[in-house]
């Protein structure tokens, strides 16, 4: 709890008292404040000046608390009292949304899987935010694998990183060097196969993946028990309760006979930390050998992309359907072919 005090220039002295909800524990009081347990008040001062101050203390609700509670406080300067303004604190803000049955700062496997099932199907959850953010799901899984019990820690960052295990497990809850990349191949009947290669860091205990595509595309043959949410146009994979690399796939086909591939945008979420899936921008359905940037024609841009792939870099846009030898990979043959085309050595 933070109390920002800004006295008038004419103030000679002032004091503050704040009353948390009954039954909530109080700790870490700043500025030499004290907790009066008999009156259930946190008291600061008196301060014999008119300096501005931010006074803080921590509160923890009982594990059985499920309703919103208000704080009541008074600021008194030179004998004149005014109520402390600002927002009341909702006890629900302190718990992860998946923590419902009961709300006890502990995530059970049933709570986790119920939350994950709602995310995967695109259903609304009892507690916001809705739609369920993918990073909230992966954080819930990390908390469960990290020991189930957790706490709210505002110093760890915003939601969902503010929820941390009470007793940290051996593995970190940060994603470190996790990554996800997408490859795109096409068939003669204008069907795209989308392959997402996910490489979690060694310290990752779990992850989930969701891929976004525009409306107007049929989705089928989703691997690894993934699910397509037609309402949001997202394909969702997980929960994966390990750090094993996976190649996830699904197929798409235009419902309108479009001649350009869709533009994808996706997220792989590791422990509540989102990592963008390296995007592929679609090119024509009938790919031209050497056209690996998805644009019409073979240009210097294609050559640069091919050389970046050869150097072990991971360009954001690579259309593997433009490969030369039809192995769905970009390598030395593609680089040589593209450079020869640019130089006019090939027709």
Q: What is the pLDDT along the chain (347 residues), one digit of tens a residue?
A: 889 999 999 999 999 999 998 888 899 999 999 999 999 999 999 999 999 999 999 887 775 655 667 888 999 999 999 998 765 555 445 789 999 878 889 999 889 999 999 999 999 998 888 899 999 999 999 899 888 899 888 777 778 888 998 875 434 444 457 888 888 787 767 788 899 999 998 888 889 999 988 888 899 999 999 999 988 889 999 899 898 999 999 999 888 776 566 667 788 998 888 887 876 544 444 456 777 765 556 888 888 888 887 776 655 455 555 668 766 567 788 889 989 888 888 77
Q: What pLDDT does 226 receive? A: 93
Neighbours of 9 (CB within 10 A): 5
pTM of the model: 0.56
Domain at 2-91: CATH code: 2.60.40
Q: What residues contact 221, with CB distance under 8 A and at least 6 apart?
A: 249, 250, 251
Does 2-91 match 179-276 in CATH topology?
yes
The pLDDT value given to residue 61: 74
What pLDDT sits at residue 28?
92
Tell me which architecture the domain covering 179-276 has in CATH: Sandwich (2.60)
227 strand-pairing partners: 236
Angle at 14 between CA 78 and CA 11, to 5 degrees: 60
Tens digits of residue pLDDT in 301-343 = 888 888 887 776 655 455 555 668 766 567 788 889 989 888 8
Domain boundaries, the chain: 2-91, 93-165, 179-276, 300-343
3-state secondary structure labels for all residues of 84-137: CCCCCCCHHHHCCCCCCCCCCCECCHHHHHHHHHHHHHCCCCCCCCCCCCHHHH
**What whole-number distance in Å separates Cα of residue 279 and Cα of residue 300?**
20
């Amino acid at each position: 709890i933070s109390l920002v005090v800004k006295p008038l220039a004419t103030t000679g002295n002032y004091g503050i008292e704040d009353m948390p909800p009954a039954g909530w524990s109080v700790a870490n009081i700043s500025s030499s404040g004290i907790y009066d347990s008999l009156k259930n008040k946190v008291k600061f001062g008196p301060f014999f000046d008119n300096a501005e101050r931010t006074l803080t203390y921590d509160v923890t609700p009982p594990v059985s608390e499920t309703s919103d509670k208000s704080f009541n406080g008074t600021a008194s300067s030179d004998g004149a009292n005014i109520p402390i303004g600002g927002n009341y604190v909702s006890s629900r803000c302190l718990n992860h949304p998946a923590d419902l049955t009961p709300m006890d700062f502990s995530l059970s496997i049933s709570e986790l899987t119920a939350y994950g099932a709602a995310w995967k199907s695109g259903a609304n959850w009892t507690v916001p935010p809705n739609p369920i953010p993918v990073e909230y799901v992966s954080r819930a899984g990390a908390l469960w694998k990290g020991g189930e019990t957790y706490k709210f820690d505002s110093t760890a960052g915003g939601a969902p990183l503010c929820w941390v295990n009470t007793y940290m497990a051996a593995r970190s809850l940060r994603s470190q060097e996790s990554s996800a990349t997408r490859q795109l191949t096409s068939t003669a009947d204008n069907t795209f196969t989308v392959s997402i290669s996910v490489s979690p860091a060694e310290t990752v205990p779990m992850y989930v993946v969701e891929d976004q595509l525009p409306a107007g595309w049929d989705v089928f043959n989703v691997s690894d028990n993934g699910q397509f949410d037609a309402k949001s146009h997202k394909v969702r994979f997980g929960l994966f309760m390990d750090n094993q690399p996976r190649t996830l796939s699904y197929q798409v086909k235009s419902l309108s006979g479009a001649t350009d591939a869709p533009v994808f945008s996706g997220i792989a979420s590791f422990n509540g930390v989102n990592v963008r899936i390296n995007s592929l921008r679609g090119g024509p359905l009938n790919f031209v050998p050497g056209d690996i940037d998805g644009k019409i024609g073979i240009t210097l841009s294609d050559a640069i992309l091919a050389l970046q792939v050869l150097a072990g870099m991971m360009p954001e846009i690579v259309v593997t359907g433009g490969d030369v030898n039809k192995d769905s990979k970009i390598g030395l043959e593609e680089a040589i072919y593209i450079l020869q085309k640019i130089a006019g050595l090939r027709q």
